[in-house]
Amino acid sequence: MSREAFVNGEYIEYINSKVHIEDRGYQFADGVYEVFAILNSKIVDYEGHIKRLNRSLKELKIASPIQKKSYKFHINEIIKRNIIQDGLVYLQVTRGVASRDFKFPKNSKSSIVIIGKNTPSNYYNNNFNKGIKVKTAKDIRWKRVDIKSLNLLPPVLAKQYAADNGCEEAWLLDDDGYITEGSSSNAWIVKNKTVITRPVSSSILNGITRSTLISSLSKVGYKFIERKFNINDIKDADEAFITSATQFVMPVIAVNNIKIGDGRVGEFSQLFKEIYFKYISLS
Ligand code: PDD
């Protein structure tokens, strides 16, 4: 069976799928995206992701290319056509195709692409059991990273810098030395049995995994605070972890080669992973 993608209203063989050379996503990163985790062929936290997609579109004044109720149908179709069991679906909307001009085109139609893939079996659990290492890097992104835009060059550079230093993720530092978030995840520490993560603002993406974990923690009555933290807090932390649709809850065992706790996957990461999976919505 060959892979299929949804491209501007049609299902096309993945290897033959194409977009126009003057798509504004390609020329200006003028578009937005969402990544949906798929578990057991079901979409994880669909409502949260679709709400954020609509918010991103609204903030950038991009019209939805399809009816709002059709998103779920097409995502499910990609899951079915590609026989995705556990994996992800990537959905991208751009302002569309127009002759290159910075101003919004008057008559373009927004473009949509949906692709999906399976992740190798046990990929998540194997990574979870090892934990990940993090490198800090300056946050050089634009000032509206609450919008999930295609403008991803700073996180690309940060993730590569982390990889060049033997790490799986970069934690980004604001001008005052506080962590904003990961290059493609939200950042958390645990100190004195309290979970700490940065409050939502235009300096971070309001992660759907983050929101689900926060509501799950409150359901089980776990102590949680939203506040900024810096490298000194990290040095004193008992545990650290990241959250995202691709990593769920993923333990961090070292930051800048400084061990977190005893440098092994800790009990809270294990507990929060279980709590998170208990409360996710699958649809
Ligand atoms: N990234 N912060 C940033 C900068 C992100 O790019 C992401 C997700 C998150 C976590 O958000 P969520 O829990 O809704 O996935 C936080 C996706 C996975 C990506 O770009 O591949």
Could you tell me the domains of the chain?
4-119 (3.30.470.10), 125-279 (3.20.10.10)
Residue 218, phi then psi, degrees to nearest 5: -70, -30
Q: Is 45's C-beta closer than 6 angstroms to any atom of ligand 1?
A: no
Q: Is 24's C-beta closer than 6 angstroms to any atom of ligand 1?
A: no
205 Cα nearest atom in ligand 1 = 2
**Which of 46, 184, 276 maximizes ligand 1 atoms within 8 Å of its Cβ, making it the mutation to test the pocket?**
184
What pLDDT sits at residue 163?
98
Write the burial class of residue 131 (CB in 10 Å: 0-12 exposed, 13-18 middle, 19+ buried).
buried
What pLDDT sits at residue 1?
67
**Considering only CA atoms, which of 196, 145, 198 is closest in space to residue 176?**
198
Q: Two tokens at 153?
A: 């060059």
Spans of the chain below 70 pLDDT: 1
Percent of the chain with pLDDT over 90: 98
Q: Which residue's entry shows tokens 């995705």? A: 84
What pLDDT sits at residue 16?
95
Q: Is 154's C-beta closer than 6 angstroms to any atom of ligand 1?
A: no
First CA to last CA distance, the chain? 25
User: For residue 82, which amino acid is it?
Assistant: N
**Which of 46, 244, 246, 272 maximizes ligand 1 atoms within 8 Å of its Cβ, making it the mutation to test the pocket?**
244
Dist. CA 3–CA 14, nearest whole Å: 5
Name the residues annotated as catalytic. Answer: 148
33 Cα nearest atom in ligand 1 = 20
What pLDDT sits at residue 2?
85
Beta strand spans in the chain (E): 4-7, 10-13, 31-39, 42-43, 87-94, 111-118, 132-138, 169-173, 179-182, 186-191, 194-197, 224-226, 239-244, 248-255, 258-259
What pLDDT sits at residue 121?
86
Beta pairing partners, 255: 134, 258
> Dihedral (C-alpha) 164, 167, 168, 172: value to the nearest 10 degrees?
-90
Ligand 1 geometric centre to CA of 184 (Å):
5
- Give the DSSP letter of residue 120: P
Contact yes or no for 276/39 (Cβ under 8 A)? no
What pLDDT sits at residue 75?
98
User: For residue 64, which amino acid is it?
Assistant: S
